[in-house]
Structure 1
Amino acid sequence: MHGPASPGWLLVALCAATGAYCLLRMRSTVEEQRRAAGGEALMGFGMAVMAVPAAAFTPPVWAWPAYAAVFGAAALRALWAARTDAHHLHHLVGTSAMVYMAAAMAASPVGTHAHGGGSASGVPLLTGVLLLYFTGYVLLSGVRLLPAPGTGTAGPAGPVSGAGASAGPAVAWGDRPELARACRLSMGIGMLAMLLTM
């Protein structure tokens, strides 16, 4: 995970900002939103810690097994929650990817911060599968953020006004679905960046 310093710090900032926003989403009055935000905050902060450039900080040997245990527990929780909500399957893949990357870091020689244990034959199979999954997830999440034609958002003529424009209660900024999607897109991009360095 620990590549060049500048992109590494950008990835740390992206993941930490995403984790912080997810913490704010945990204050939502919508129970489902709070539950999802907690797991996403853990992912955001966990990815931020994992992305810290090696030149700045080298974790102790015991850190990676502990990291794998924390995300292994989160994966089990996501597996349990997936029984009733399919969205938790994505959390299961994400937390499992974190366990995989932590295991790769633990298996690497001290100070090298694993790059996946790849051989001369190329990218390890599991890394390739995870790269394909997160590439698809990022593309799909990006498409979902695009405004649908005719939704009444700003267009060539400007914002839509009229009876339908202000109907319904105002949604708190922490409960806005497009912000939650942007948060998930950011974490998907971060996961892709981390997997590419393996």
Structure 2
Amino acid sequence: MHGPASPGWLLVALCAATGAYCLLRMRSSVEEQRRSAGGEALMGFGMAAMAVPAAVFTPPEWVWPLCTAVFGGAALRALWAVRTSTHHLHHLVGAGAMVYMAVVMAASPGHHGGSGVPVVTGVLLLYFAGYVLLAGARLIPVSATVGGGSVGWGDRPELARVCRLSMGIAMVAMLLAL
């Protein structure tokens, strides 16, 4: 991504940590946690890779079409899943945003200047800013137990919500840097 290196590395760390926790959620005994955790892990790690400061590492040209294909596939999967749950609509928008950013990064020579379409970037910024506000409000209060007993790390709904909030904040930061 464009911009200073220090915030870029913080964004990489945040997204990678979020992706790692989402991998842990894939081992959950709660089916809904497992179902969404894989896509969220992909988003976390993909965002971490995209956030690596361009001053430190300029990826080879083939990386951006690969990102476009991977997140395009994730968008198609989310589109298919929207039939059963509107939660996947957010995954669809997120994957679409990743495709958009990969296309913009591929089109910007040397990956040092933003060349996104201002209207698309603005709409995505509004969506994710609204999502962050809503996700933050949903954090209060959340019960740490399911069915009255203690739960494992992969089954904690408040941690899953924090991960989604973190990825939403990271998406806003990445779109602003675009």
TM-score tier by shorter-chain length is over 0.9
The range that moved more, 15-24 or 171-180, is 171-180
1:51, distance to aligned residue in structure 2 (A): 0.2
Alpha-carbon distance, 1:114 to partner: 4.3
Deviation at 1:116, TM superposition (A): 3.1
CA distance in 2, matches of 1:12, 1:112: 17
Aligned to 2:85: 85
- How many residues align? The count is 178
Distance 1:181 1:115 in 2: 31
Backbone CA RMSD of aligned residues: 1.9
Output the CA distance in 2 between the equivalents of 1:117 and 1:74. 21
Match of 1:147 among 141, 149, 153: 141
For residue 151 of structure 2, the aligned residue among 159, 163, 171 is: 171
Structure 1 stretches of 5 or more lacking a match?
A: 119-123, 154-164
TM-score (norm 1): 0.85
Q: Do the aligned partners of 1:104 and 1:114 also contact (CA within 8 Å) in 2?
A: no
SS in 1 for 2:111: coil
Q: Aligned-pair distance for 1:147?
A: 2.2
Aligned residue type for 1:82: V
Point out the structure with the larger helix share: 2
Residues in 2 aligned to 1:126 and 1:117: alpha-carbon distance in whole angstroms: 8
1:129 equivalenced with 2:123 (yes/no) = yes
Q: CA deviation at 1:128?
A: 0.4
**C-alpha contact 1:107 1:114 (8 A) present in aligned 2:** no
Query: Which residue number in structure 2 is paired with residue 2 of structure 1?
Result: 2
User: 1:116 maps to which residue?
Assistant: 115
Matching residue of 1:75: 75
Structure 1 runs of 4+ aligned residues shifted over 6 Å read none
Displacement after TM superposition at 1:54 (Å): 1.0
**Equivalent-residue separation in structure 2 for 1:178 and 1:132 (angstroms):** 24
For residue 180 of structure 1, the aligned residue among 153, 156, 160 is: 160
Deviation, structure 1 residue 168:
1.7
SS in 2 for 1:84: coil
Instruction: Give 1:56 deviation, angstroms.
Output: 1.5
Residue in structure 1 matched with residue 170 of structure 2 by the alignment? 190
Identity %: 77
Q: Compared with structure 1, are the counterparts of its residues 194 and 186 closer, same or farther at alpha carbon in structure 2 (3 Å cutoff)? A: same
Kept in 2, the 8 Å contact 1:145–1:178? The answer is yes
Give the CA deviation at 1:104.
0.3
